[in-house]
Amino acid sequence: MSVMEMSHRGKEFLSIIQKAESDLRTLLSIPEEYAVLFLQGGATTQFAAIPLNICTPNDAVDYVVTGSWGDKAYKEAVKYCKPNVIWSGKSEKYTKIPNFDTLEPNPDARYLHICANETIHGVEFKNYPTPIGEKTVLVADMSSNFCSKPVDVSKFGIIYAGAQKNVGPSGVTIVIIKKDLIGNAQGSTPVMLDYKIHAENNSLYNTPPCYGIYMCGLVFEDLLEQGGLGEVEKKNKKKAEILYEAIDSSNGFYRCPVEKSVRSLMNVPFTLAKPELEGEFVKTAAGEEMVQLKGHRSVGGMRASIYNAMPLAGVEKLVAFMKEFQAKHG
Amino acid sequence: MSVMEMSHRGKEFLSIIQKAESDLRTLLSIPEEYAVLFLQGGATTQFAAIPLNICTPNDAVDYVVTGSWGDKAYKEAVKYCKPNVIWSGKSEKYTKIPNFDTLEPNPDARYLHICANETIHGVEFKNYPTPIGEKTVLVADMSSNFCSKPVDVSKFGIIYAGAQKNVGPSGVTIVIIKKDLIGNAQGSTPVMLDYKIHAENNSLYNTPPCYGIYMCGLVFEDLLEQGGLGEVEKKNKKKAEILYEAIDSSNGFYRCPVEKSVRSLMNVPFTLAKPELEGEFVKTAAGEEMVQLKGHRSVGGMRASIYNAMPLAGVEKLVAFMKEFQAKHG
């Protein structure tokens, strides 16, 4: 019987989802006082679920907006509480992360929201702000760097992530939430967005995305076998290092717009000094089996996404190609 | 490159989702004025999405409750509009479907909601009510009999279905909605529950469950190759016929509580005259590779789910087993 055919309430699937949760807890050293939920609907669903679950409509919350995803999260929260953008990188085309000490967070904010890694712009928090308000918890969208490196979960109220970048197929969303935040959803919260329902039912309130959860479990096993997230981070650093080095040593032929100290280990955006060559770059690379290098339609240029599953050899091949391309067109 | 690795915006995946939609349109003869959406979150998410999208908080709506799923749908709607249960089968343990002519629907209802097939109780609408109100549209949860037989889509405002019974793995929800119902969502509707967002973005507003949609597309192809839903219905009728016949001719050893005229072609619940034998029935059947025969925990007894993918030979094997079991214990 395939995982796609099993009853999600049968003991076979129960052992799959329990093993997946247990391995994820080991990987991230998730403390006992946090619940782990396997949900649906992507990070975008959580943009609404978070304020609906932990705020009243009058609660103030703070957003640090370092890219398109943080901006979308903020805009959704407007429907359910009183969000305030305490910093936005928009005017600098989302190439920076602010120094939190220079900001003025609201001490009464229910939460402070960040997007740990902005997929489209390639900016990544290297350390996390500590909220100043007594009742303020840190909430992070980790969709595009989840399980790419160790994280101190105890610093967060909620960590959430779509699975599809590093840990499984699209269609699974993982929420790690401090248990004392669960149970106060606004009355209008759809049952499927209510963390209490999912926590009480161990993510089995209705039929979950069984096959996707099974795949996530296989990935968690693999990450543990690799030696855990410390080892995974080393590999990711090495991959990013040689790619950024290739860009920075190209005498301006390639250019990464992101401030060096906050460059993402996962998403490396870059442009060509001669934009008219970008089409040829993408096309020639595809001819050598390096695909999906076109930048997001909203920013243009190129973007190399080098998630956990991309081997060092893949990045080395790209770097060699970039040097060749430059030699030919530089 | 696997479907799990593709960008959901790349031309490879676009051709997959477009082909899936096109084949589904052929299968169900879906008129041009209906949109087809591939979503996440199961039917349970639609229990909220439907009133949020097509009602104001003051709109009256009618529910015919023929089982647990219809009851859940009603309870969720209470948050978003003014639902009224115009008929409930609860007092008769959900074994009947009412004659619509005897009911008193609200002529001002925005919609009339039914669950076309109640998975747990095994009752199925054999024909569909025609709403009497001028602005009332018929809304049906078809999760557990979707694509099991032809349906006249034009009679409905919205048809919705979790994919996991007949057309794909869990994690995909299909919504077929008359386009003129789209675009009036309540202000508090989460963006992921707003049909307008998904219709405008061809179900690609955020990363969809790509692999699940791919699998649904393969199933639609297969159903077309089988000759379409008329042929599929013939097979399903034959399967159900021999199973109900085995129950009804058992001199009361087996018993199906559902009124004969509305027995489901998909889910066949039955009990043993000697309930103390039920455990052995399930266990012995499992020993012969017939699994998941235990009834839902809320009703007990047995339940044989004979969805599209169950071959006639599987049902024949079960029937032979039932006769043997009766011969031994009757």
On whether the CB atoms of residues A164 and A28 are closer than 8 A, the answer is no
Q: What is the mean pLDDT of residues A186-204?
A: 98
What are the tokens at A238?
A: 């090495």
Interface of B with A in 263-292 (CB under 8 A): 291-292
Identity of the residue in A42, A47, A192 whose CB atom sits nearest the CB atom of B207: A42
Task: Tell me the helices (H) and strands (E) count for chain A, helix number first.
Answer: 8, 12
- The DSSP annotation for A56-107 comes to -TT-EEEEEE-SHHHHHHHHHHTTTSEEEEEEE-GGGTS-----GGGS---T
Q: Of B201, B217, B187, which Cα lies nearest the Cα of B37? A: B201
On whether the CB atoms of residues B24 and B31 are closer than 8 A, the answer is no
DSSP annotation of A261 = G
Size of interface A-B (CB pairs under 8 A): 122
Asked if pLDDT for residue A4 goes beyond 90, the answer is no
- Cβ atoms within 10 Å, residue A195: 26
Hey, is B162 helix, strand or coil? strand
Chain B residues with beta carbon closer than 8 angstroms to that of A164: 207
Contact check, Cβ <8 Å, A210/B49: no
Cα distance between residue A174 and residue A36, in whole Å: 7
On whether the CB atoms of residues B312 and B238 are closer than 8 A, the answer is yes
Cα distance between residue B140 and residue B263, in whole Å: 18
B1 close to A (CB below 8 A): yes
Q: pLDDT digits over A48-91, tens only?
A: 999 999 999 999 999 999 999 999 999 999 999 999 999 999 99
Min Cα distance B204 → chain A (Å) is 12
Nearest chain A residue to B167, by CA: A4
On whether the CB atoms of residues A42 and B192 are closer than 8 A, the answer is yes
Cα distance between residue A25 and residue B253, in whole Å: 49
Cα distance between residue B308 and residue B194, in whole Å: 31
Long-range CB pairs of A25-33, under 8 A, 24+ apart, other chains included: A26/A224, A27/A147, A27/A220, A27/A223, A27/A224, A27/A228, A27/A229, A28/A147, A28/A150, A28/A151, A28/A153, A28/A176, A28/A229, A29/A150, A29/A153, A30/A153, A30/A176, A31/A153, A31/A154, A33/A178, A33/A179, A33/A180
B321 close to A (CB below 8 A): no
Could you list the active site residues of B? 69, 141, 165
**């469950």: which residue's tokens?**
B209
Contact check, Cβ <8 Å, B169/A209: yes
Cα distance between residue B139 and residue B115, in whole Å: 8
Asked if pLDDT for residue A5 goes beyond 90, the answer is no
Residue A273 pLDDT: 95
Domains and CATH numbers, chain B: 3-226 (3.40.640.10), 229-329 (3.90.1150.10)
Q: Of A35, A190, A232, which Cα lies nearest the Cα of B185? A: A190
Can A180 be counted among the known catalytic residues?
A: no
Interface of B with A in 161-180 (CB under 8 A): 162, 164, 169-172
Can you give the length of chain A in residues?
330
Cα distance between residue A138 and residue A205, in whole Å: 27
On whether the CB atoms of residues B326 and B249 are closer than 8 A, the answer is no
Residue tagged active-site, from A23, A62, A69, A149: A69
On whether the CB atoms of residues A164 and B207 are closer than 8 A, the answer is yes
B295 close to A (CB below 8 A): no
Cα distance between residue A275 and residue A253, in whole Å: 10
Non-local CB neighbours of A327 within 8 Å, separated by 6+ positions: none
Q: pLDDT digits over A145-180, tens only?
A: 999 999 999 999 999 999 999 999 999 999 999 999
Residue A234 pLDDT: 98
Residue A2 pLDDT: 87
Can A19 be counted among the known catalytic residues?
A: no
pLDDT tier at B9, thresholds 50, 70, 90:
confident
Identity of the residue in A76, A190, A212 whose CB atom sits nearest the CB atom of B48: A190
Cα distance between residue B107 and residue A163, in whole Å: 46
Interface of A with B in 184-243 (CB under 8 A): 187-188, 190-193, 205-212, 215
CB burial of B98-114 (b: ≥16 within 10 Å; e: otherwise) equals bebeeeebbeebbbbbb
Q: pLDDT digits over B178-221, tens only?
A: 999 999 999 999 999 999 999 999 999 999 999 999 999 999 99
Test mutation, A5, A55, A192, A218, chain B, max B CBs within 10 A: A192
**């050893």: which residue's tokens?**
B253
Non-local CB neighbours of A319 within 8 Å, separated by 6+ positions: A242, A243, A246
Cα distance between residue A182 and residue A194, in whole Å: 9
pLDDT tier at B299, thresholds 50, 70, 90:
confident
Residue tagged active-site, from A23, A62, A141, A194: A141
What's the pTM? 0.97
Q: Return the CA Rg of chain B.
A: 21
Which residues make beta-bridge pairs with B270? B302
Chain A residues with beta carbon closer than 8 angstroms to that of B80: 188
Q: pLDDT digits over B78-106, tens only?
A: 999 999 999 999 999 999 999 999 999 99
Non-local CB neighbours of A236 within 8 Å, separated by 6+ positions: A148, A149, A265, A266, A306, A308
- Cβ atoms within 10 Å, residue B186: 18
| Sign, Cα dihedral of A98, A101, A103, A109 | positive
Min Cα distance A101 → chain B (Å) is 33
Q: What is the 3-class SS of A104-133, one letter each residue?
A: CCCCCCCEEEEECEECCCCEECCCCCCCCC
